[in-house]
């Protein structure tokens, strides 16, 4: 009898500690979010440029030691983990029931509940600290002192597209190409990833608003599935990894690497991550990044130009070299091949809808169209710093 009483006394103390820990974790996440959501100065200068760097660096250092993607394998093994957790829960409840048929089940159920709350609170804090707060920092255009009041015309966009097409044509001549004029790498993915990290470091040395956080990009084992879902890369705030789809056409990969590294460095909005990637790529010493940066920016701008004036878009298309078109047509064929499968189309539609809802929930009102908003930043960059 004394043993049972002592057990429940200890159990009560443990439950009290767990309740306090769970409450503190939840309150910390909520307060952090509220404070930064209502004060962009704190989000930018105190958190994103200082605290975030100190908090994220140890995590990226640890995850970068391993070649596998923890996010990828975590998702793949999640059904197994779920089954194990259910079995453990059942065993825990059974143990409590045997100890005391009247109170044991209830006590053990509460204990397991508090454990689940603590785990959920930890994940909530990781989301807030490594993703959520950075949504509230100053707009990148403001950080770069761009004049956002200027309105750009279709002719302005056409001039930018012409500039990007010319640069892409020049950059294409500096990369290795096969007999079909398709770009291919003469280096390993690890070497390419290292160049991407060096690009981000160089960018941080040129702009105060960019803070370099060492993070090794990872090639995803299930890259084909990523293509089915419509993703070329993915940042995971719970593992702080830059995950790269390496099944796509190779000219897309360098730009994707810098895009995901922009996320790991604190730029979460998709249009801003695209622009950070562009800046990192075009100033790179690696010709693959230079070409990838110019051609990906060209695609975004050319698509927008086609929406505004098809005739102007056709004129820019004529400027693009056959070698550049070879890569773009190869990507179109790749996408069509992926979409041939009815299952793949449904997977992509579901993934796109989920991503669209998530982006809108974070304040990116354009949803998946947020990626295309990089055109505005490119126009500001071209007319306020280049032309």
Q: Which of 16-25, 53-62, 318-327 has the lowest mean pLDDT?
A: 16-25
More confident residue, 370 or 64: 64
- State the pLDDT at residue 24: 85
Strand, helix or coil for residue 171: helix
At residue 252 the predicted structure's pLDDT band, cuts being 50, 70 and 90, is: very high
| Exposed/middle/buried for residue 19 (C-beta within 10 Å: 0-12, 13-18, 19+) | middle
pLDDT at res. 1: 46
Q: Quick one: pLDDT band at residue 10, thresholds 50, 70, 90? A: low
For the chain, the average pLDDT equals 86
pLDDT band at 351 (very low <50, low <70, confident <90, very high): low
Instruction: Give the tens place of pLDDT for each residue, 266-314.
Output: 999 999 999 999 999 999 999 999 999 999 999 999 999 999 999 999 9
Q: What is the pLDDT of residue 25?
A: 82
Residue-level pLDDT at 99:
55
The pLDDT-based confidence of 2 (bands split at 50, 70, 90) is: very low
Model confidence at 348: pLDDT above 90? no
Give me 119's structure tokens. Answer: 């785990």
Q: In what order do the strands lie in the sheet with 233-236?
A: 218-219, 241-244, 233-236
pLDDT of residue 76: 84
Which residue, 289, 119, 277, is CA-closest to 203? 277
- Which residues are registered as beta bridge partners of 183? 177
- Whole-number Å distance between alpha carbons of 373 and 13: 53
Q: What's the token pair of residue 239?
A: 């593992």
Over residues 21-33, the mean pLDDT reads: 82
pTM of the model: 0.88
Read off the pLDDT band of 98 (50, 70, 90): low
Q: What percent of the chain is predicted at pLDDT more than 70?
A: 84
Give the SS3 label for residue 146: coil
Strand 218-219 versus strand 241-244 pairing type: parallel
Q: What is the secondary structure of 45-96 as a DSSP string?
A: IIIIIIIHHHHHHHHHHHHHTSSS-HHHHHHHTHHHHHHHHHHHHHHHHHHH
Is the CB of residue 197 less than 8 Å from the CB of residue 214? yes
pLDDT at residue 13, rounded to an integer: 72
How much is the pLDDT for 78?
82
Residue closest to 127 by CA, chosen among 210, 26, 225: 26
Q: How confident is the model at residue 8 (pLDDT cuts 50, 70, 90)?
A: very low
Take residue 242 and report the two structure tokens written for it. Answer: 């830059």
Sole residue written with tokens 């990007």: 164
pLDDT digits over 127-160, tens only? Answer: 999 999 999 999 999 999 999 998 999 999 999 9
Identify the pLDDT of residue 4: 46
Could you tell me if 249 and 331 are in contact, meaning their C-beta atoms sit under 8 angstroms apart? Answer: yes
Q: 219 has which bridge partners?
A: 244
pLDDT at 105 exceeding the cut of 80: no
The pLDDT assigned to 103 comes to 54
Q: What is the mean predicted confidence (pLDDT) over 186-202? A: 96
Tens digit of pLDDT for each residue in 214-228? 999 999 999 998 998
Band of pLDDT at residue 341, cut at 50, 70 and 90: confident
Which of 354, 122, 81 has the alpha carbon at shortest distance from 237?
122
Residue scoring higher pLDDT (327 or 361): 327
> Is 122 a residue whose pLDDT tops 80?
yes
């Amino acid at each position: 009898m004394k043993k049972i009483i002592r057990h429940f006394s200890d159990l009560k103390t443990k439950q009290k500690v767990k309740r306090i820990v769970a409450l503190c974790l939840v309150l910390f996440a909520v307060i952090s979010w509220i404070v930064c959501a209502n004060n962009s100065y704190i989000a930018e200068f105190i958190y994103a440029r200082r605290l975030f760097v100190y908090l994220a660096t140890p995590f990226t250092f640890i995850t970068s030691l391993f070649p596998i993607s923890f996010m990828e394998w975590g998702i793949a093994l999640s059904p197994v983990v779920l089954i194990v957790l259910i079995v453990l829960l059942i065993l825990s409840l059974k143990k409590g029931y045997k100890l005391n048929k009247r109170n044991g089940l209830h006590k053990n159920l509460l204990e397991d509940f508090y454990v689940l709350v603590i785990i959920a609170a930890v994940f909530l804090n990781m989301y807030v600290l490594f993703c959520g707060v950075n949504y509230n920092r100053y707009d990148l255009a403001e950080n770069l002192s761009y004049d956002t009041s200027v309105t750009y015309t279709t002719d302005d966009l056409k001039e930018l597209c012409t500039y990007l097409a010319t640069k892409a044509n020049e950059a294409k001549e500096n990369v290795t190409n096969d007999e079909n004029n398709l770009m291919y790498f003469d280096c390993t993915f690890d070497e390419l990833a290292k160049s991407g990290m060096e690009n981000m470091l160089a960018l941080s040395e040129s702009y105060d608003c960019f803070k370099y956080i060492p993070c090794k990009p990872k090639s995803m084992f299930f890259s084909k599935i990523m293509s089915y879902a419509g993703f070329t890369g993915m940042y995971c705030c719970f593992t702080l990894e830059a995950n790269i789809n390496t099944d796509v056409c190779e000219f897309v990969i360098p730009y994707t690497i810098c895009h995901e590294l922009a996320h790991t460095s604190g730029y979460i909005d998709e249009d801003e991550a695209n622009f950070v990637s562009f800046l990192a790529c075009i100033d790179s010493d690696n010709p693959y990044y230079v070409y990838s940066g110019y051609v990906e920016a060209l695609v975004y701008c050319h698509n927008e130009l086609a929406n505004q004036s098809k005739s102007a878009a056709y004129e820019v298309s004529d400027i693009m070299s056959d070698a550049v078109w070879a890569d773009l047509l190869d990507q179109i064929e790749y996408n069509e091949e992926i979409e041939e499968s009815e299952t793949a189309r449904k997977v992509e539609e579901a993934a796109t809808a989920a991503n669209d809802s998530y982006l809108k929930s974070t304040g990116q009102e354009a949803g998946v169209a947020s990626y295309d908003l990089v055109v505005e930043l490119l126009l500001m960059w071209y007319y306020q710093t280049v032309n």
